[in-house]
Amino acid sequence: MTRYKQPVSVLVVIYTAGLEVLLLERADHPGYWQSVTGSCEPGEALRDTALREVREETGLDASRYALTDWHTQNDYEIYPHWRHRYPPGVTRNTEHVFGLQLPCPVDVQLAPREHLNFQWLAWQDAAEQVFSPSNRAAILRLAGSGHEHPGALK
């Protein structure tokens, strides 16, 4: 039986107080850089998805840091080359944005099937490096918010 992804996901921007942003290079598309992302499992709360995805993709225990729901949703068309992962006929995804603030850049433990490399970049460089428009918007929002509580912005 094929197990499809749900078209509900999280985007977790991992950053420092100095606005350095962690980016991960996708294994299935070298050169594509992004923040932590992942689909919700059936019945899983969004915060739990964010905690799980951060652990799976970086080895970090996000519960030890400031994980914040930014109360932002992005509805976007799923790239055609990734639609086979979703149920037939599903073409759109709803992404929920979180931020995870760390005190300083740290080395992470990558999931080799998902990511090839990681880098910490200044927010301006990170915003330019990511391939996803919603990831870029989240990084720009982080930088413009004073970064204490990006979710409080309207």
Mean pLDDT, rounded, of the chain: 92
pLDDT at 144: 80
| Overall average pLDDT of the 91-120 stretch | 96
Distance CA 125, CA 145 (A): 17
Supply the DSSP string of the chain, one letter for each residue. ---PPPSEEEEEEEEETT-EEEEEEESSSTT-EE-EEEEPPTT--HHHHHHHHHHHHH---GGGSEEEEEEEEEEEEPPGGGGGGS-TT--EEEEEEEEEEESS-------TTTEEEEEEEEHHHHHHHBS-HHHHHHHHHHHHTTSS-GGG--
Q: What is the pLDDT of residues 126-135, one digit of tens each?
A: 999 999 999 9
Q: What is the pTM of this model?
A: 0.91
User: What domains can you pick out in the chain, each with its CATH number?
Assistant: 8-152 (3.90.79.10)
Q: What is the pLDDT of residues 15-56, one digit of tens each?
A: 999 999 999 999 999 999 999 999 999 999 999 999 999 999
Mean pLDDT over 97-107 rounds to 97
